[in-house]
Amino acid sequence: MKLFSSVTGVVFPDPKNRLFLWTLLILLSLICGAYFLGNAFSAKEYKQRLARWGLIYSMPDTTTSNSNACKKQCRPSGTQALPQGIVARTSNLETRPLWDDSAVNNRISNHPLNLLAISVGVKQKEVVDKIVKKFPSSDFVVMLFHYDGFVDGWKNLAWSNRAIHVSAINQTKWWFAKRFLHPDIVADYNYIFLWDEDLLVDNFDPKRYLSIVKEEGLEISQPALDPGKSEIHHPLTVHKAGSKVHRRYYKFKGSGRCDDNSTAPPCLGWVEMMAPVFSKKSWQCVWHMIQNDLIHAWGLDRQLGYCAQGDRMKNVGVVDSEYIVHLGLPTLGGSNGNEASDFIFYVKRQYIPCL
């Protein structure tokens, strides 16, 4: 029997028919759910069976595989077999005493923050001595590249025992830098002074210099050159009295003009190679730009903008308030009777011949 509503005009089925319809709907839902679940499991089992038969390739879990691939790619080459926590990617130039642990812990907590590396010959010993004495041992590690092989001639200097000495006959500082100043080795040092030996530093203070460099945001820099006493190769490096820092120079006559519209060397954005100072980030770039067969670095200076960590017109500059004298002495290249293949790595008073 069917019920009729006079108000809405809708015919309602009797209670028995409604119960039957609800039961049928629930039954159909259960059948559909069982079908879809069974189909999913069957498809997975089917693919696995085909993969075992070699008919198709099983698809790996992309999330897990990508994560593992990233971890492997980020690890240094050759460390794949090592446990995750044992890999030490970087080092420094700190020497370590053999037995005194307290001294080790003290030096680790107070190790110098910057590096001074100079290519030297014993004939310029007096000049180099004055340079090194300007750099406080609390803030700088000193590394000497001996191109003449005379390492013992430096032992009478008070600071010689704390310096790192590397010797290779008739090699330039760029040869040494490429082989001994890898970014992972000097990763602890905020700034790297890679200097020649023929520099006078009467008007230079490294602490004030770095304070200005940080304030001005210079990633690559050099101290200005005293024009009255220095050998000047490029006008950009000339000291400007009353100035703290300059990044460009002006030339309005003749060829190669430099004005406010100039955006590249030789007008701005570079420093010369006798006394460059690199931030940690810029050196990570510059080291990779140094070619293995590079000798004098002629032309490298004008490419430094690639490593300026941004705008070379802002991040590369010459510091005027702390300036030096460049003597321009032709010191490298003389023979002292040693074979060019002689190579010794010195640490303090001990040395180890490298085979």
Rounded alpha-carbon distances, angstroms, from residue 349 to 129, 138, 156, 160, 164: 18, 21, 11, 9, 10
Q: Please state, rounded to an integer, the average pLDDT across all residues of the chain.
A: 81
Name the DSSP class of 238. Answer: B
> What's the pTM value of the predicted model, to 2 decimals?
0.71
pLDDT of residue 334: 46
pLDDT of residue 327: 94
Residue-wise pLDDT for 81-121, tens only, equals: 778 778 777 777 777 777 766 655 555 556 779 999 999 99
Q: Which residue has the tokens 């642990």?
A: 101
Segments of the chain assigned E as strands: 3-4, 11-12, 114-120, 140-146, 164-168, 191-195, 199-200, 220-225, 245-246, 277-279, 316-326, 343-347, 350-353
What gap in Å lies between CA 73 and CA 125, rounded to an integer? 47
CB 181 within 8 A of CB 119: no
* Third-level CATH fold of 114-326: Spore Coat Polysaccharide Biosynthesis Protein SpsA; Chain A (3.90.550)
Q: What is the average per-residue pLDDT within 332-354?
A: 41
pLDDT band at 354 (very low <50, low <70, confident <90, very high): very low
Residue-wise pLDDT for 213-270, tens only, equals: 999 999 999 999 999 999 998 999 999 999 999 999 999 988 889 999 999 999 999 9
Rounded alpha-carbon distances, angstroms, from residue 159 to 93, 98, 164, 273, 279: 15, 20, 10, 26, 25
In degrees, rounded to 5, the angle at the alpha carbon of residue 123 between the alpha carbons of residues 322 and 324 is 10
Residue-wise pLDDT for 141-181, tens only, equals: 999 999 999 999 999 999 999 999 999 999 999 999 999 99
Would you kindly state where each structural domain of the chain is located, as residue ranges? 114-326
What gap in Å lies between CA 38 and CA 54, rounded to an integer? 24
